[in-house]
Structure 1
Amino acid sequence: MSAIAKGISGKHRIAVIGSGWGGFRLIQGIDTRKFDVTVVSPRNHFVFTPLLASTAVGTLEFRCVTEPVKRTRVELYEAKCEGIDLVNRTLNCASTLDGFGPDKFSVPFDSLVITAGAVSNTFGIPGVKEHALFLKDVSDARKIRSKIMECFEHASQPNVSDDERAKLLHFAVVGGGPTGVEFMAELHDFITEDILKLYPSLKPFVSMTIYDVGKSILGSFDAKLGSYARERFMRKGISLRLGEAVSAVHQTHFTLSGGARIDYGLLVWSTGVGPVELIKEMTTGERAFAARDPTMGRLVTDEFCRVLGKDGVTPLTGVYALGDCATIKERALPCTAQVANQKGVWMYKALNRAVKDPSDIAPKFEDAGVTPFQYNHMGSLAYIGKWRAIVDMKDPTTPEAAGKAEPNPLQNALQFTPNTGVGAWLFWRSAYFTMSVSTKNKIQIPMFWILTWIFGRDISRIK
């Protein structure tokens, strides 16, 4: 295993694991005049996840929701972090580039920021990883778009029976949270507004269903908004099968806990997230050295995002964690883009302010006047199809955490914005347009929205 020697710049070395919301915001704002920043991530880009469902059906093109990490003037290695050596202050990494060497290398650091994200939670259900599709990255969206068109192409062939057509054109989503609901809404728009115009004879065979173990969809939203979304879906012909868990998944069907067999052409799995392998290794087993959140298996940090040691009290020296892989002790913050985004902004401001000496491995945030991280809930949004959305300003965090937050600047704006319907949809689009991380995407996103409105979505099947 080779080591990458410290550069001659003499700057404080920061290693960042991951390029999601928290990590990307951090490296966007970090002062590279004071820091040498190295990013270790399996992908070389950031993904604007709130609009990923739109790319899966062609409402937006894939390049509209990505941003290269290299544009942030940092060192990037497309690799997976397999271990952290706190004694020698190095990351043990393995390249994720096929056919190139060396496969193993190490990355030194003075400070470490872990933004490893999370993986889709399969709850150990047999067959999910092998047969279901997920929606976490652009590669997933590509697979979904290709599979949708494959189902229609296969169903249109003359040797396929009507029973087979009904099975192929059953589109199932497991998970009634925001991601599952938004994908189903986008899928319904795609099928009814674009695909069925070209395959009108297949309309009687198309069905779309959301399955969830809970008794309602959008459980994190206000109950009235969840009921509104449910009524809209049922009116459009989207079925909801709630209160039953999936027990096993097979290539062409899955079974429910009650024994029912469900045939499908496309199955998208969206049931929440779980810890990645690196976080499991840090928090469980004989070699564990960090505190574990018992609810979701995440890293536990203090209010300065410093990872706590195995005792759950003492912070590890110069090790921080942001985003879906971490939670603040006694603060149940949700795994959402806005939490990770706010932590990333807070972290780069804190580091820029606190690190004075390149040799200072553990900057004293308190001595530098850095205040603890406070989450400011900006509202929850969900698209429900046909130019309709819902907006919920209820803070899902604890009352204590919400009470400490600064006044929400969106509250005044929403006094004049409906929380359902077309007005909420306009707010949904304008909010995500504003959140886009680059000028390039701020130009591309509305451009493709307009092109889709005029010409429809692209139905080409590109593998």
Structure 2
Amino acid sequence: MTIASIFTKASKTFHSYPSYSKLLLLCTLSGGGVVAYAELQSDSRPPSVDPNEPRRKRVVVLGTGWAGTSFLKDLDALKYDVQVVSPRNYFAFTPLLPSVTCGTVEARSIVEPVRNIIKKRRGEIKFWEAECVKIDPANKKVFCRSSVDANLVGSGDFSLEYDFLVVATGAQVNTFNTPGVKENCHFLKEVEDAQRIRKSVIDCFEKAILPSLTDEERRTNLHFVVVGGGPTGVEFAAELHDYVQEDLIKLYPTVKDIVKITVIQSGDHILNMFDERISTYAEKKFGRDGIEVQTGCRVVKVTDKDITMKVKSTGEVCLVPHGLIVWSTGIGTLPVVRDFMEQIGQVNRKVLQTDEWLRVSGCESVYAIGDCASIHQRKIMDDISSIFKAADNDNSGTLTVKEFQDVVDDIILRYPQLELYLKSKHMLSVTDLWKDPQGVDREEIDIEGFKLALSHVDSQMKTLPATAQVAAQQGAYLARCFNRLEYCEEHPEGPKRFRESGRHVFRPFQYRHLGQFAPLGGKQAAAELPGDWVSMGHSTQWLWYSVYASKQVSWRTRMLVISDWTRRFIFGRDSSRI
């Protein structure tokens, strides 16, 4: 039997049994070794429907980004009638988008079809490739329009009714209404954006080497400007620098000395959301690499030829010629979400406001997760009197240490800023708050003393960043709540209700920061990890490789990304304009 016939039979067997574990054998002919990989896949056939079974509640999910996909992966679809609406039929691993712009990783290596993800779930999940154009909370409907542009018959407009709506649409790039940005800048939010940037970089080099151009025109075409010194902008600048130095100058040697990369940042430092040590390290490394960093500058206008920039400290206005601009300055609200916010009285907010259980304020059956929403954490001082009353079991008008300890776990769970405050003050126990100004322990405390002890706790309230890590944790949390809804309604697991009797049904969402990376090029990266641990250098780059490989949504994308990294190490990046 030939090798080809063996693989043909194996392939037929592999695809003939979708309800069993699949076994993929990779044979190395030279060494005779065998590597086995098993992927457990549940039966993808739709479950049978019992006509006497009560109607399952309809859950409509808008979006297939980090938040939406995380929700779908953990949701028990047997308990609900789940429908998903998204203009993209794939999930993209967005932290690797800067790598796609320079060919370090291929675009298809970081995307996984949504249907591949949902078919592995128990139960049936319906997916519609369409864009939600309007949310009608009064009638519990969403109106959608097909994203398929092909000239096919049939109407692309439809509506869906819901019992629960999960808004996970993400956000769009924030241009701050700067003139000329939409017309003349590249963004880096979607896979298509990264592919366009990749082609434009090659265009700049191909145009610059034409014999008809002057030296000044060549310098302009090869001036790459990144507006925004956050993680995305910094990583793109680092990737582009490596691409130029390791690959492109070998192919375009006549212009190797005139390529320039500039990062424009409105703040005082790049990566200002990281530890100060990382920010300083990144600026010094960019300086050594020849990447110009201009801080304290604000872009006020963009044309196809130059950028108008204003220096904040002096008020000086200057023109910066460019060949390519990548705009990476934050996120803004999508039109459909903005319209929804106007309907529910959140006109003056930048994003949807939710409570600590990710429920949209003012909409009992609508939840919002990911970049489109922000949690409104309740202040402890707003409920201070109710907390005191709930803890004062004997109605004596004073609290003892024991009475306070009986409710302290509920307080910390309901108001997480209390725990952050204790850490910031290096307090070992909540009872340290009871000490008087001289540091002496008190046996009991009255309402005024209680207010004074907790008066500065709310200063530790923080808004969660719009990152993939936050969105993924929110999606997983909300799926767990949906899976346990019936049980927890009968057996509440949340903290004590201080303004009324009983307990909350669920524990509120609590974000657990697992750290963040900042690749800086030259096989170096910086990492900020839990425990105030900062790591920088070559070893951190290898840590970045391992973490990002492990976080891929499927084994398929994991193997593709690793193979792309391997290909790049051996053969370099591809500079073809395709």
Q: Same fold (TM over 0.5)?
A: yes
Indicate the residue corresponding to 1:115 in structure 2. Answer: 168
After TM superposition, give the deviation of residue 83 of structure 1 in Å. Answer: 1.4
Indicate the residue corresponding to 1:4 in structure 2. Answer: none
Measured in 1, the distance between the counterparts of 2:476 and 2:493 equals 15
The answer to whether 1:451 aligns with 2:509 is no
Q: Deviations over 1:24-76 (max 9, x none)?
A: 11111111211221111111111111111101100001111111111213222
Please give the TM-score of this superposition, normalised by the length of structure 1: 0.87
The answer to whether 1:67 aligns with 2:122 is no
Indicate the residue corresponding to 2:520 in structure 1. Answer: 384
Indicate the residue corresponding to 2:91 in structure 1. Answer: 46
Over aligned residue pairs, what C-alpha RMSD do you find? 2.1
Aligned length: 421
8 Å contact 1:436–1:442 — kept in the other structure?
yes
Indicate the residue corresponding to 2:484 in structure 1. Answer: 353
Alignment of 1:108-187 (within 5 A): 108-187=161-240
Indicate the residue corresponding to 1:281 in structure 2. Answer: 339
Q: Calculate percent identity across the aligned residue pairs.
A: 41
Alignment of 1:318-333 (within 5 A): 318-330=365-377, 331-333=462-464
Measured in 1, the distance between the counterparts of 2:57 and 2:142 equals 16
8 Å contact 1:80–1:96 — kept in the other structure?
yes
The answer to whether 1:373 aligns with 2:525 is no
Indicate the residue corresponding to 1:312 in structure 2. Answer: none
Q: 1:260 aligns with which of 318, 343, 346?
A: 318
Moved over 6 A (4+): none
Q: Deviations over 1:339-382 (max 9, x none)?
A: 0000011111110111479xx9xx98857953111000011211
Indicate the residue corresponding to 2:545 in structure 1. Answer: 429
Q: Deviations over 1:378-419 (max 9, x none)?
A: 1121100011111113xxxxxxxxxxxxxxxx65xx96xx61
Indicate the residue corresponding to 1:343 in structure 2. Answer: 474
8 Å contact 1:53–1:183 — kept in the other structure?
yes
Measured in 2, the distance between the counterparts of 1:19 and 1:444 equals 21
Please list every run of 5 or more consecutive structure 1 residues that lacks an aligned counterpart in the other structure.
1-6, 310-315, 394-409
8 Å contact 1:60–1:445 — kept in the other structure?
yes
Measured in 2, the distance between the counterparts of 1:341 and 1:347 equals 10
Paired residue type of 2:318 = A
Q: Deviations over 1:156-198 (max 9, x none)?
A: 1111111110000001000000000000000001111001111
Measured in 2, the distance between the counterparts of 1:255 and 1:81 equals 36
Secondary structure of the corresponding residue to residue 522 of structure 2: coil
Paired residue type of 2:344 = F
Paired residue type of 1:320 = Y
The answer to whether 1:460 aligns with 2:576 is yes
Q: Deviations over 1:87-128 (max 9, x none)?
A: 322101122221344132101111100011111110000010
Please list every run of 5 or more consecutive structure 2 residues that lacks an aligned counterpart in the other structure.
1-48, 120-124, 311-315, 378-461, 495-502
Measured in 2, the distance between the counterparts of 1:95 and 1:435 equals 31
The answer to whether 1:215 aligns with 2:268 is yes
The answer to whether 1:242 aligns with 2:295 is yes
Measured in 1, the distance between the counterparts of 2:545 and 2:557 equals 13
8 Å contact 1:19–1:46 — kept in the other structure?
yes
8 Å contact 1:12–1:35 — kept in the other structure?
yes
Indicate the residue corresponding to 1:94 in structure 2. Answer: 145
After TM superposition, give the deviation of residue 293 of structure 1 in Å. Answer: 7.1
8 Å contact 1:215–1:243 — kept in the other structure?
yes
